[in-house]
Every structure is written in C-alpha cells, then in structure tokens.
Structure 1
Amino acid sequence: MPRPRNRAATGATALPPATLAFVESPVQLLNVLEWAYEERAGAVAGAPGDARGTGDAGTTGAPGGPGPDSSGPDTGGPDARGPGAPGLTAPGSPTGPSALGRTPHSTPHSTPLTIVVLSPHDPMTRGQLRRMAELAREEGHTVRWEDARGGATAPVRTIGGLTPLLRRAERVVIGDPFSRYVQLLLTLARARDLVVVDDGTATMEFIAQLARGERLVRWHRHGSGRGARDLAFAPFARAARRRLTPAPDGDRRTVGVFSSMPVEAPPGVRIATNAFAWTRRRFGPPRLTRAADIVGTSLVETGVVDTDRYLEAVAQLARTHGATRYFAHRREHTDKLHRLATEIGLEVVRPDLPLELIARRGPIGRLVVSFPSTVVHTLPLALVGTGVRVAVCDVDPAWLTSRASPRAQGFLDGVTGTARGVDRLPPERPTEPG
C-alpha cells in the first residue's frame, strides 16, 4: 500500500504565489526545507512516497515563488566560524561541496519560497544559520537575511522592510510561535494560511498550550509574566495567539503544524509528519565509528540543571559507554565546554550544521547518547536504516537548580517518555570513591 503524502487540505496541486517563512535558528530553517520538500512532493503528480505521512491532515497548500524585493545582505564574516576555545573543533570547512557531503545542485522536489532569517546575536547560531542559508539557496529558495537585533533601531527597520512582503504573502510559515518578534510580525500579516514547523521539543509545549487555551510561555521560563515588558507586549501576544488558533467553521483561515514530535492535533489544527525525507535523500549514509558519541544540551545555560551535576553525569556517561566525542549545543558556554575537554578528556565538537545533518554526513558513533532534547526524537528518523543506536539519559530531579521552572521535570520526563526508537537510560550518578 502506498504511503500517504502531506497534501494540501483541498487536494489541489496548484501552488500559491507567495509563501513567506520566518526562522531564528538553524533547526527551524532545516525544518522549513523539510516542509518545502514534502509540500512539493505532495503537489507533484506521481512523486514518490518517501516515508511521508500525516496526522489529522496534511499542512495546507505549498510554497510559491519569491517576492520581487526578497533579497538581502548575507555576507560572511568572523561570526560564521563561531568562538574558539581549547579542545574545541569544528567538522568540515565553512564552505564548499566537501563540507556538505555532496555537489551543490537543486533538487526537483523543492519548491522555491522566501525565507526570512531574523538573525540572533549568538555567533554560533549565526554561523549555523549562514551554512543553512547556503543549503536553502542551493535548493532554489530565496533567503533574506535580517540583522533584526542589531541595535535599537533594528526592529523598526526590519519590521518596516518586511511589511510589504507580509501584506502580499498568502501563507506564512514560522519556526517559533513563542518568539515575540514572530508574534509581532503575525499581527501585520494578512495570510489566511499559517504553518508552524518544529522548533524542537518546544513544539510539544506549544501544542499543549494551544489545546488548553493558555497564553504561550516557554516551558523553562520561570516567572509570572507580569513584568513591565510582558504587560506592554501582552496585546500583541494575544493577537498572535488568536492568529494561531484555528478559525470557526466557515472561516477560510487555517493553521497547520509540521512536526517530528509526538503531538496530537487540537481541534481544527492540521498535523503533518516530518520524517526528515529531504535530509535522508541529500546526505549519507554515514560512516560509523566504534566509539560512542554524546550530544550536549543547553539545560545548564537555560538555568534548568546545575553545572557541576551536569558535568558529573557527562563524565559517568563517557566512562560507562566509552564515549570520546561531545557534540556541543550551539548555545553551550565556552567555559563549560572547556571543562568537558580538560577535565573529562572529551573531544568537543562544535557542529557547523544541525546535528541531524552532521550525523547523516558522518562519521558518527554506533551509539549516540543524549539527555532529554529534540535529538532523541529527530535522530532516529534521520538515521533510520544506518545501524546507529540512540539512547537518552533521564535527568535526575536532584540536578535541577532553584531557578528551574516548576514544570521542568515533568516536561523533561515527557520528552524522554514519548521518544520512539531510542533506548532509555537511568540518570547517571557519579561513582562513589573507594
């Protein structure tokens, strides 16, 4: 029996003339490319199934061509390499076919769209975004780079420049519904079709809050949300949430979610499955190493987990499973990574692309161990059929800081418990002396 495809809700094959995507992280941009691949494959008659599937229904429609003023500055710079530190390496060169693992060319199943990068400050994130922007251009998409946080006047300049595109767009694709920047832009959009692509495990919390009718708050945020800035932005947040809520029957406005997470659609929301078909088509299969690899997280940086407890757990994982490399999260602090290299002896790798692509490109360990994070859901999909085993280590409640949100432990347990195709490991504890 042929696999179902992520088709338009109407079943039509015509492509709308204007689709605008907003991304703020490399993973969001990767998932926009996956969404565009699936939409095009679903709209082209006779396209191969390629592990496509839907939940309630496919995401609606498909992307169209770029707008007339959709180009923007995207010059390279020192920030594309990311900060250096003792014991840190970055795989591959910053440019060229060898770094991507194949010769650049445009896939016939990709559909051009305009992708707006709302660039953050973090150098590692900016570097990965520039590498992902190269891939997007090779797929035939237009990338508009916006230094949206480059000074006090940057938001006004960015929003003013994007308003004409927002007014013309028939569909808007976003990667982070919790982003205040994105919420503000949504209030200016006239598009009746909205699609949310994965921003990792945050998608699970977004769907849950949408179903419960709650305001959109990140799971690790601690506080009442009643500060001066929160109150000033509240009208925009409420307006954005209304846009992200499916319209009553008879209204043509639609909301779709494109996700690899185990989410259940609230009434009226269309869920389409992200099986990482584009990633698997374009990269790998990888060469496997004998040693295990550990995937880092930003749980320390977000104030959820204590630094010393985290380092002790990583050290014990390395001893137990024979791990030699540590793939750093793009937001991990350099001083913490330096301790991992000097105190534990791990080779710390700062990837220049999202880990799903790095793993498909290889080399990668036969065992990949992670703490609760997005990769425990995405790596089994990206690495299906390669022989790589993915394991997730639970977070001990004793590791949590006093600043951790009351929801933190439950959310992390949910991330681990809902992961499919992974081995579950108990929390690692330091070896007792003697």
Structure 2
Amino acid sequence: MSESSASTLALVESPVQLLNVLEWAHAEAAAQAEWPLLGAVPAQPTRGGRRVPPLQGLRIVVLPPVDPMSRGQLRRMAALARDEGHQVRWQEARGGRLAPFRAVGAMARQMRRADRIVVGDPFSRFVQLLLTLVRAPELVVVDDGTATMEFAGQIARGERLVRWHRVGAQGLPGKVKELAYAPVSSTARRRFTPARTGRRVEVFSSMPVTVPEGVELRVNEFAWTRSAFGPPRLTQGTDLVGTSLVETGVVEPERYLAAVRSLAAAYGATRYFAHRRESPEKLRTLSEATGLEIVRPDLPLELIARRGPIGRTIVSFPSTVVHTLPYALRGTGVTVAVCDVDPAWLTGGASPRARSFLAGVTDTARDVRRLAASAAS
C-alpha cells in the first residue's frame, strides 16, 4: 500500500477496537468537513497549530489474536472497513516465538512515517513495543471496552499501564520478565503524556472517563453504527448478554451459572449473546442448565443489536455494552439493564481492583436500569 496516500495508521487487535476505529474515522471526517465553514483553510486544516492529517486512505493494521471467534469477527469487521474505503492489512503477530519480531520488522517503516497513530489497546504489550518506534505528532486511543476507564486513570496518576483484572507476576521467571519489559512499558506511558512529549493525545470513548490535563476527549456516540444499521425490529422478550468474567479469573464459574439461571427465570429471557472469549464448554453448560438459546455473534454486539431483531430489554453484568448500547440503540425503545456483581461471586485470585472497578462500571453507566445483585440470587 502507498506510503504517501495515507498518513493515519490504526492498530487494532479485537473486533470492538476495529468498530471504534470506524466510529472515530466517521467522527473525524465529519469534523474536518465542518472546518471550511469555520474559516479553516480546506487544503491545510490545523488543530492546535498543527496540520491535521487527512483521512483519505486510512490504513488499518489488524493484529489478530489466536482464538477463532475473535478472528472470525475481525474478518467480518475488516470487510466492513474496506467497504468504507479504508485499507486493511492483516498482520500476524502471534502464534510463534518469531512472529512478533517478524511483525515489528514488517511494520517499522509505517510506524515511523505515520503522521497520526490510532491505538485500540494501549495495554497490549505488542502495541507498546510498536509505540517505541513512533514519531507521529498525534496519538489517538479508541475504546477497548471498559479498559479505557482504567487507562485514563493510570495516565492521570502517572502509574504503570496494567489491566484492572491482572494480578502481578508470580514466581521468579515472571518477575524477571516484568522487569525486563519495564522500559518498553515506561516509554509507551510517556507517549501518552502530552506534557512530556509535546504530542497531541486524544481519547475517543463511550466510557465515563476523565482525562488528564493536556489530553483531549471526544465522545463516541456510535454515529456511524446508527447511520449504517437499523433501526432494529424488536421482539417482546428479554436478551441476556454474556461476559468473560469467568475466563479472566474474576468470577467463580458456579456463581456465574447460578446468576444467569436466576436472571433468565426472573426476566423471561430466551437468548444469551455470548462474549467472544467464552468457552464452548461453559456455554454448553449454560444452555443445558437454563434452556437459553446461545447466540455467538459474528460481529460486535452493538452492530448485532442495531441490525436486530433484539429484545425490548437487554440485561448484562458490568461490561462495556452497558455504556455502548444506550448510544447504539438511541431512539429505538430498547431498555438496557445492568446487574451488579456480588462480591461473594469473586474468585480468591481476583485482583484487588476487581470489586471497585466492577462497581464503578455499573455506577457510571448512563441511561440504563440498575438491578441489584440480589436479582440474580
């Protein structure tokens, strides 16, 4: 692909990240279209004294994970991105000890030449490694779910970039590995700190985040999704939304199963939209225990819900969708409800941040109905 035809490079590792890159591109194109009306020079629009890179030929590099569900959704999202006129490159960076090094070599020139980098997951170690090559004067972070809330807080406090559910390295080998990687992580954190680098940094998010001084915030209202899909046909029933809280070691499997069973019975739910990381064994157990129809979406739930059919009520545990679905389904009459996670459901190995983080996801959700954990008991 041409190095001169595109000056914005996006790095994504999940279907949701790719969806949010499309949302950001839609919002940025709309903003650039308005600038001539505000007196900006059309050929050389500027923001904060800098020339703004045009969006023509946006390049998106997909760094796929190994699990089949994520890869399948990413391929579908990549097709949608190409339909929107963006260039998409599939770059394997996992699946072997040499794969990351080959990927860095293949991408190094693009990383150095890009005028703007859009990042889907600032916690990704591979993305952090790529950021050491960045010379671009602009960095944009789009949502990777609720992790954006933690990212914004850690940048504001000057802390290490660590996922909220992650427990510290165990054993000597793990600690040595963490120590060796620390300079890369530290460099990545500095890249997101305008005061230290002079870069323009933007966070494009649907989450209730507070960004530090110098970082710009733009709200993702899912305008592209609403313009491209729907409105959906509504069913009379209730749909449940699954989470990967069991897979990430936060919630006990038996507690999760009991909570889903209780919610299905209390609200007459008939379908369960599985998270892409939920295991087949867990979903089979859920189906047998609850009678729910298990739906494995081939696209992010925001698009699935917008296309329909979808229940008039959607019930979820604390997760990204309690923040994104109210935007995506605005004006459709769908009610989104969130059920608290009882602290008794947490595993013994859950991180110290798990309880307060999950409570924060629920407490800050807008335009949703809140259900006490007792509703799932």
The TM-score with structure 1 as length reference comes to: 0.80
Following TM superposition, by how much is the alpha carbon of 1:242 offset from its aligned partner in structure 2, in angstroms? 0.6
Is the 1:63–1:113 Cα contact (8 Å) retained in structure 2? no
1:33 to 22, 28, 33: 22
- Does residue 1:300 correspond to 2:214, yes or no? no
1:238 corresponds in structure 2 to 186
Q: Does 1:138 align with 2:83?
A: yes
| CA–CA separation in structure 1 for the residues paired with 2:375 and 2:239 | 19
1:211 counterpart = 2:156: yes
CA distance in 2, matches of 1:411, 1:357: 26
Shift of 1:63: 5.5
Contact 2:17 2:144 in 1 (8 A): yes
Count of residue pairs brought into register by the alignment: 361
Mapped contact 1:36–1:62 kept (Cα < 8 A):
no
Aligned match of 1:185 in 130, 150, 158?
130
Go from structure 1 to structure 2 and tell me whether the alpha carbon gap of 1:373 and 1:350 turns closer, same or farther (over 3 Å shift): same
User: For each residue in 1:329-370, what CA deviation from the matched residue of structure 2 results, as whole angstroms up to 9, or x when unmatched?
Assistant: 000011110011111100000000000000000000000000
Residue 223 (structure 2) aligns with: 277
> 5+ residue gaps in structure 2?
38-46
One-letter code aligned to 1:258: F
Q: Could you tell me which of 146, 160, 165 is aligned with 2:110?
A: 165
Contact 2:343 2:355 (C-alpha < 8 Å) held by counterparts: yes
Q: In the TM superposition, what whole-angstrom CA distance separates every residue of 1:354-411 from its partner, at most 9, and x where no partner exists?
A: 0000000000000000000000000000000000000000000000000100110000
- Letter paired with 1:139: E
> What pairs with 1:80-99 in structure 2 (closer than 5 Å)?
none
Higher relative contact order (CA 8 A, sep 6+): 1
Q: Secondary structure at the match of 2:195?
A: coil
Q: 1:429 to 1:275 in 2, by over 3 A?
A: closer
Q: Quick one: distance in 2 between partners of 1:236 and 1:426?
A: 42
Give the letter for the 1:227 counterpart: K
Q: Kindly tell me: are residues 218 and 61 of structure 1, through their superposed partners in 2, closer, same or farther at Cα, counting changes over 3 Å?
A: farther
Distance 2:139 2:51 in 1: 10
Which of 367, 370, 382 is equivalent to 2:316? 370
Matched position secondary structure for 2:315: strand
Kindly state the Cα deviation for residue 113 of structure 1 after the two structures are TM-superposed.
0.4
Q: 1:61 to 1:116 in 2, by over 3 A?
A: farther
Superposition map of 1:417-432 within 5 A: 417-428=363-374
> Are 2:177 and 1:229 aligned?
yes
Q: 1:247 to 1:220 in 2, by over 3 A?
A: same
3-state SS in 2 of match to 1:404: coil
- 2:339–2:375: 8 Å Cα contact kept in structure 1? no
Distance 1:357 1:426 in 2: 28
Separation (CA, whole Å) in 2 of partners of 1:395 and 1:188: 41
Distance, in Å, in 2 between the alignment partners of 1:47 and 1:116 is 31
Deviations 1:248-298 (A, max 9, x none): 5xx641111000101112110000010000000000000000110000000
User: Residues 427 and 63 (structure 1 numbering): CA distance in 2 closer, same or farther, change over 3 Å?
Assistant: farther
- Give the 5 Å matches for 1:5-404: 17-45=6-34, 64=54, 111-223=56-168, 227-248=175-196, 252-404=198-350
Aligned partners of 2:6 and 2:57 also within 8 Å:
no
Supply the distance in 2 between the matched residues of 1:216 and 1:380 (Cα, whole angstroms). Answer: 28
What is the identity, as a one-letter code, of the residue corresponding to 1:417?
A: D
Amino acid at match of 1:119: P
Percentage of pairs with the same residue = 66
**Partner SS, residue 209 of structure 2:** coil
Equivalent-residue separation in structure 1 for 2:52 and 2:231 (angstroms): 29
- Displacement of 1:45 after TM fit? 3.2
What is the CA–CA distance in structure 2 between the aligned matches of 1:269 and 1:37, rounded to whole Å? 20
Contact kept, 8 Å, 1:312 with 1:429, in 2: the verdict is no
Say what the alpha-carbon RMSD is for the aligned residues: 2.0
